[in-house]
Chains A and B, each alone.
Chain A
């Protein structure tokens, strides 16, 4: 069974601060997705990374896939209240159903 540990679980910061969320596993993943979810809605895809060492940027968000494809990080620069939400990482496995393994989520609150 593949496991993804996400940290921290909760994060409350002031507007303008920087933060990093981590996803770690002992398993190798074929890809890594990051989602953001707001209350009452489904997770919305932010990015997919597939190559070890890959870095992708989405405005103030920077995503990195570890060289060994076992871990990933999400860094937000100058957080804004609009960044508030639940952030989920999900690893793609080498399995018949192309199933994803989800981390437990990081609940971020950015205060004005």
Chain B
């Protein structure tokens, strides 16, 4: 357990509405990541952060934005949700120590109607 929580755990919303997902960590890890997991596509990186206010795009960043104003919180925002963004979203942190090992949160299941 790397002290990662995600909120909400489940959300149903309508097309066109903004949605913000929160990832919270308690161990001051520098690197944080947002992934989505879909059948047939596996885990795909949306955005990542390498420090407060330092973020970069991943493989599937279109339609998503992120913010990190504090070390412990990494927010993922869907400005105008679409049905194609229905997915399970996972946050992860990378531990220090020389390897690329990441630990994952419990996930948020988002349904866009």
Contact = CB atoms under 8 A, between A and B. Distances in A.
B101 A88 contact: no
Interface string B74-107: 0000000000000000100010001111111111
Interface in A78-106: 88, 90, 92-93, 96-100, 102-105
A48 B99 contact: yes
A1 to B, nearest CB: 9
B48 A88 contact: no
Contacts, number: 60
A43 B98 CA distance: 21
Interface residues of A, number: 25
B42 A99 contact: no
Contacts of B43: 43, 88, 90, 102
Chain B interface, DSSP helix/strand/loop, else mixed: strand
A27 interface: no
A30 B48 CA distance: 19
B50 interface: yes
Chain A interface, DSSP helix/strand/loop, else mixed: loop
Nearest to A104: B42
A97 B50 contact: yes
Given A31-B100, A88-B43, A102-B42, A42 B31 contact: no
Given A99-B45, A102-B43, 15 more contacts: A30-B100, A41-B106, A42-B104, A42-B106, A50-B98, A88-B43, A92-B99, A92-B101, A97-B58, A98-B31, A98-B94, A99-B33, A99-B58, A102-B42, A105-B42
Interface of B: 31, 33, 42-45, 48, 50, 56, 58, 90, 94, 98-107
